[in-house]
Amino acid sequence: MPQLAWQKSSFSTGGEGECVEVAASPPSHLHLRESDRPHVTATVEPRALAQLLHAVKSGGLRP
């Protein structure tokens, strides 16, 4: 995997251990990780992530 340019979430607390980071790679993949566990990543397509975020915001995900 090529070197990724990770960006911290604007909602991060600013500390070193509580940040969600995202990076993009061609052709259309997003990579997510927590800054305190940078070796563990999730790779998703932008549309799938958008659908997940929409479901979370609308309360559509219930335990």
Give me the number of domains the chain comprises.
Answer: 1
DSSP string for residues in 2-58: PPP--EE-TTS-SSSSS-EEEEEETTTEEEEEETT-TT-EEEE-HHHHHHHHHHHHT
pLDDT in tens, 38-60: 899 999 999 999 998 899 889 88
pLDDT in tens, 2-42: 689 999 877 766 665 568 899 998 888 999 998 888 899 99
pTM score of the predicted model: 0.73
Give the CA count within 13 Å in the CB-facing half-sphere of 13. Answer: 7
Range of the domain at 61: 1-11+19-63
